Amino acid sequence: MLFFPRSNKLFQWVAPIKALYRYTLTLLMCSLLFGAWWFCMYTPLGVISVLYKQENQTMRQQCDHDTQECHLFSSLEDKVKELHYALDVYAVQVSSDPKEVHIHDVMNAISASGLTLSAYNVEREVDKKLYTKSIMRLSLVGRYQQLLNFFEQMHTQKMLISCKNISLHASEPEKYTITCELASFSWVK
């Protein structure tokens, strides 16, 4: 009652009440404010905090799982690089023989155009009277522009290469898979 001026209506309404009732009423109002703060502010914030911690833990576990998968993919990528190296070594060995498909030139064209080699198969050579024909089947994955660059590079090769049985289909958005049959020709001496 000390904080209210005597001319205030609240003071005039509360002043006739006994001091015990005024203190009880003040304690009740403070208890209501404390209860409202406890149930409307503190408890929900505690629940939000617990939910945040659980979500944070879940996200950390997902991040750890993704990191492990990333390490697996990086090791898989290393193995793919080793296989590409082994293919290049094999291509150099094969390309020293003029009767075989010039795999090394084809692999260089694939890597220069940025394509991914998904499958290949070297078939036996066919001997004719004037020339020898070696066949190689390829399956390549890449963007359309990369496929065009590959065929442009095959067009500029020093040796005679024909490409037939070409099939092109979309494998992913903006990615295409092409399968084709390359045949190289070398003249019989």
Q: State whether 81 and 148 are in the same domain.
A: no
- Asked which of 96, 131, 158 is the last residue of a domain, the reply is 96
User: Which residue bears the tokens 């750890």?
Assistant: 64
- Asked which of 45, 61, 96 is the last residue of a domain, the reply is 96
Q: State whether 2 and 88 are in the same domain.
A: yes
Region of 174 on the Ramachandran plot (φ > 0 left; ψ -120 to 50 alpha; else beta): left
Q: State whether 128 and 92 are in the same domain.
A: no
CATH number of the domain within which 177 lies? 3.30.70.60
Alpha-carbon gap, residue 154 to 163, rounded angstroms: 9
- Asked which of 45, 74, 96 is the last residue of a domain, the reply is 96
Q: Are 156 and 130 in contact (CB under 8 A)?
A: no
Q: State whether 138 and 89 are in the same domain.
A: no
The whole-number pLDDT of residue 32 equals: 93
Q: State whether 36 and 115 are in the same domain.
A: no
Number of domains comprising the chain: 2
Q: State whether 30 and 105 are in the same domain.
A: no
Write out the residue range of the structural domain in which residue 154 sits: 99-187
pLDDT in tens, the chain (189 residues): 566 677 778 777 777 777 778 788 888 988 999 999 888 888 888 888 888 899 989 999 998 888 887 777 777 777 777 777 777 666 555 555 554 546 777 888 888 888 888 888 887 677 777 777 788 888 999 988 888 888 888 888 777 788 888 888 888 888 888 888 888 877 766
Q: Is the pTM of this model over 0.75?
A: no
Alpha-carbon gap, residue 175 to 110, rounded angstroms: 15
The whole-number pLDDT of residue 31 equals: 93
